[in-house]
Amino acid sequence: MQPAPTDINALKSRMRDTWMAGDFGVIAAYTAEAAKDFAARLGIAAGAHVLDVACGTGNTAIPIARAGAIVTGVDIASNLLEQARVRAAQEGVNVKFEEGDAEQLQFGDAAFDAIVSMFGAMFAPRPERVAAEFLRVCRPGGLIAMANWTPTGFVGENFRTMAAHVPPPAGIPAPVLWGDEATVRERFGKGAAKITCSRQVCTFKYPFPPAEVVQLFREYFGPTRVAFSRLDAAGQAALRSDLESMWAKHNQAKGGATTVDAEYLEVKAIRA
């Protein structure tokens, strides 16, 4: 059952505040190479009009624009958009960044040749609206591409670990369901003429041990920062311990560094 509209408005306000907490740009820097790889695999033609939904600090929008596309990026968090504008200017790339909601995009029907979202729109609370909006603003024959963390991968495990300490809002589908192929096919339905999915890996690499990785996320990653803030001292210690154990369990690096592979589902849908 979906929450009432007033609940959704309050929830979105909290989500915006959560993503604006900390400094997401610090965290996003560690997935920038994966974003470049994702963008390259899409093969978007120069001159194509592209919308990057939940664009964050520009990890995906900037390389797509550098390849010659005409890119607009939207996000609910104004501070992330400001970082994206600064990055684009520093790299000499022209991208239009503006505030926008994945569930209610401010663009006309069939306005774009491609819609992309990497680890972004999957967090919107009403996925059926996200799918409908992606289909609406994409031209027939155009590309809808998403990169979504999977339920069974490392990030899915991280979400479960966090939820055991700070339960997510009731009645909202788990974001990682966007990383389940059957769910993706159901959500896009007949609006997509063809859907192909493949499992990819984003490798997190940090030059410090797991305990410091957890501290990095606690300080700079909004959702982690907010989760800790909702716990008392004992709860914070328990969450920190569980997160450190999780990162240590999956760590492939030696010598005080951290390397963890995180699986995601790459979705490519052709608009019917």
Q: Is residue 256 in a domain?
A: no
> Rounded mean pLDDT of 231-260?
98
Measure the CA–CA gap between 11 and 169, rounded to whole angstroms: 8
Number of domains composing the chain: 1
Q: Is residue 243 in a domain?
A: no
Residue 165 near residue 227, CB atoms below 8 Å? yes
Residue 136 near residue 106, CB atoms below 8 Å? no
Q: Is residue 113 in a domain?
A: yes
Q: Is residue 130 in a domain?
A: yes
pLDDT in tens, 177-189: 999 999 999 999 9
Task: Report pLDDT for 224.
Answer: 97
Task: Report pLDDT for 103.
Answer: 98
pLDDT in tens, 145-177: 999 999 999 999 999 999 999 999 888 999 999
On the question of pLDDT at 254 being above 90, the answer is yes
Q: Is residue 74 in a domain?
A: yes
Please report, for the domain that includes residue 25, its CATH number: 3.40.50.150
Q: Is residue 247 in a domain?
A: no
pLDDT in tens, 27-76: 999 999 999 999 999 999 999 999 999 999 999 999 999 999 999 999 99
Task: Report pLDDT for 170.
Answer: 87
On the question of pLDDT at 236 being above 90, the answer is yes
When pLDDT is cut at 50, 70 and 90, the band that residue 109 belongs to is: very high
How distant, in Å, are the alpha carbons of 33, 35, 62, 149, 263 from that of 200? 13, 12, 21, 10, 6
Q: Is residue 234 in a domain?
A: no
**Mean pLDDT score across all residues of the chain:** 96
Sign of CA dihedral 141, 56, 124, 247: positive
Q: Is residue 236 in a domain?
A: no
When pLDDT is cut at 50, 70 and 90, the band that residue 5 belongs to is: very low
Residue ranges making up the domain that contains 118: 5-202+262-271
